[in-house]
Amino acid sequence: MIRAGTGLARGQADDAAIEASLRAVEEAGGSGGPLAFVFATVPGPLAHGALHAVRRVTGARAVVGCSGGGVLTGQGEVEGEPAVAVALLRGEGIEVAPFCLHGLGPEGQDIGLALAEAFTTARPPTLLALLPDVRGLNPSALLGGLERLRPGLPVVGGVAAGSPPYECFETEVVEGALVGAALAGVEAVIGVAQGCEPIGEPYVVTQAEEHVVYRIGGRPALEVLREAILALDNPQERLQRGGVFAGLAVDPAKSPLGRGDYLVRNIVGMDQPSGAVAVAEQVRVGQTIQFQLRDDASAREDLRAMLDRVARDLGGRRPALGLYFNCLGRGVGLYGQPDHDVGLIRERLGAFPLIGFFGNGELAPVGRRNFLHTYTGALALLLPA
């Protein structure tokens, strides 16, 4: 059986850490356990004492976490003020392998290979929670190296945020590191809300080179993009509230395609004479592409649709713990109201221990591959294996 508890407290680092830890212990039904997560918006120099408090109060054997632009639990979301969020995971049959790696930069070690060799559990791990630093982060090397040695292992997490960002490992505050934990003995139900609604029609890419799409369905890519925008109701108004992105189908065999089947990426350039559109991801000929609109309305609807899919996957089971990694570009700045995503999670899935933070990027699988996302909410729900 897995038990978990979370706590959220505003205020000075040490006091907030103690209060949040006490709430987590109470909800978890007692102290002790293999793992505690801690996310904080307090300055790095003040976080050291907070980590000692978390370790002392929760009795967790391992503590991992990082700084965020905001933190959250099932109690709500806190942005723009000092706060600490703590989760305690307890139960028999759970194995946790925490780690802290340095050398994320281009001159450092093969971080993907190092990560794949950094954790060992008696049983194959079923989930990897990663909390990298944005400085020197190379997502392709990190996730590609991991996939070579740990194929099929789902990765969830968020990129630390703050001024400057930092990572937490045991009772130490570190910078420029990759911390996290591999978990065995748990089942993970994962949902990814990229905040977009498909616009126009899906077409096959017929000419592309690396990141540049020249022709879609035999027509100039820019022409297809314009057509998708003009098909919107009130296109000018909606474009002012949000932006247009490219959605690349992940599974070439799936048909029809819907929400959640696309990897959403920024459009980074357009060329009028050639009609080409440049995308922040490699594109291949034969891949299906559909342009996407992201604004507050589409983000809200996409989150609802993701939670409905997750509810079906849960089949009435209550998660022991939820991890929610949200983007700095969401929250109050996007919706104009506090607690938006946490409120929808409670509404759609009910009450359960939940913890997360607002970061500089989100890690989660789409299809069977792990990706780094932006403007995304990534939810991982842990249940007994």
Q: What is the DSSP string of 293-346?
A: EESHHHHHHHHHHHHHHHHHHHTTPPPSEEEEEEETTSTHHHHSSTTHHHHHHH
Last residue of a domain, which of 278, 294, 310? 294
pLDDT reported for residue 205: 97
257 is in which domain, residue-wise?
197-294
Co-location of 184 and 320 in the same domain? yes
Last residue of a domain, which of 294, 325, 358? 294
Co-location of 270 and 306 in the same domain? no
Co-location of 185 and 69 in the same domain? yes
Runs of H (alpha helix) within 189-230: 221-230
Co-location of 95 and 182 in the same domain? yes
Co-location of 323 and 374 in the same domain? yes
Last residue of a domain, which of 249, 267, 294? 294
CB 280 within 8 A of CB 268: yes
Instruction: Give ∠ CA 252-159-27 in degrees, rounded to 5.
Output: 105
Q: Within 10 A of 93 (CB to CB), how many other CB atoms are there? A: 12
Q: Which two tokens stand for residue 98?
A: 């925490």
Asked, as a colleague might, if the bond just before 353 is cis with ω within 30 of 0, I would say no
Co-location of 9 and 128 in the same domain? yes
Co-location of 279 and 355 in the same domain? no
- Report CA-CA distances (Å) from 316 to 292, 350, 385: 32, 10, 16
pLDDT reported for residue 108: 44
Co-location of 263 and 327 in the same domain? no
Co-location of 64 and 91 in the same domain? yes
Co-location of 312 and 276 in the same domain? no
Q: Which two tokens stand for residue 317?
A: 């089971």
CB 330 within 8 A of CB 377: yes
- Paired residues of 262 in beta bridges: 249
- Report CA-CA distances (Å) from 319 to 45, 175, 315, 351, 379: 34, 32, 11, 9, 12
Number of domains in the chain: 2
Co-location of 169 and 202 in the same domain? no
pLDDT reported for residue 109: 53
Total-model pTM = 0.94
Q: Which two tokens stand for residue 332?
A: 């109050």
Per-residue pLDDT of the chain (385 residues; tens, 9 = 90+): 899 999 999 998 999 999 999 999 999 999 999 999 999 999 999 999 999 999 999 999 999 999 999 999 999 999 999 999 999 999 888 999 999 998 655 444 577 778 878 888 889 999 999 999 998 888 988 898 889 888 999 999 999 999 999 999 999 999 999 999 999 999 999 999 999 999 999 999 999 999 999 999 999 999 999 999 998 888 788 887 889 999 999 887 787 887 778 999 999 999 999 999 999 999 999 999 999 999 999 999 999 999 999 999 999 999 999 999 999 999 999 999 999 999 999 999 999 999 999 999 999 999 889 999 999 999 999 999 8
Co-location of 67 and 158 in the same domain? yes
